Amino acid sequence: MVLIMKTWVPFLVSLCLAGSVAGQTASTSTAKAAPGKSDPAGAAKKEEPAKIEGMEVSRGEKGYLGIQIVDGRFKIKFYDLKKKQMQPDVARAILRWDPKYKVGTERVLLTPGPENTLTSERFIRPPYNFRIFMLLQKEAPEGDDAVGESLIIDFRQ
């Protein structure tokens, strides 16, 4: 009987200690998660910046572009300086590039599409690894030249 008590006592003591440690851990974790209490680590966290879809291209003070190929067609979204999507400030985009699968250049015109984007109608054949020469054009009154902005992009998707 004494032998059984000697083996059970250390076992029961270790169980009690493990239970009390687990209880303390649970109470401290619930105290951190309780609403209404300030969390210094959470206060330091800020909102994550907005995500630009596709390849991010900076336009300086005009904001950003997100260019990507979706279902084989170019798609360009326009973003302001805070990376929030906005209405395109141009009427069309003209893209030119040298594809890897043939000699010569390819060209495509992007016009307004759904969801405040500029999209192409023509299918673009992969691989999508080339330098794009982009011209963004605004509408101009008759008799005037269209105002444009040009960009060179090393596109990879």
Report percent pLDDT > 70 for the chain.
67
Indicate the pTM of the whole model. 0.67
Summarised one tens digit per residue, pLDDT across range 86-129 is 999 999 999 999 998 899 999 999 999 999 999 999 999 999 99
**SS3 (DSSP) at 32:** helix
Number of Cβ within 10 Å of residue 26's Cβ equals 10
Task: Give residues with Cβ within 8 angstroms of 88, minimum separation 6.
Answer: 76, 78, 112, 116, 117, 118
Summarised one tens digit per residue, pLDDT across range 39-57 is 555 544 566 767 899 999 9
pLDDT given for residue 36 in this prediction: 52
pLDDT given for residue 50 in this prediction: 77
Q: At 31, is the pLDDT very low, low, confident or very high (cuts 50, 70, 90)?
A: very low
Q: Which of 141, 52, 57, 61 is nearest to 95 (CA)?
A: 57
Q: Alpha-carbon torsion 34, 40, 43, 45, what sign? A: negative
pLDDT given for residue 4 in this prediction: 54
Q: What is the distance between the terminal CA atoms of the chain, rounded to a whole angstrom?
A: 75
**SS3 (DSSP) at 16:** helix
pLDDT given for residue 40 in this prediction: 53
Token pair belonging to 148: 């444009």
pLDDT given for residue 66 in this prediction: 96
Residue 77 has pLDDT above 90, yes or no: yes
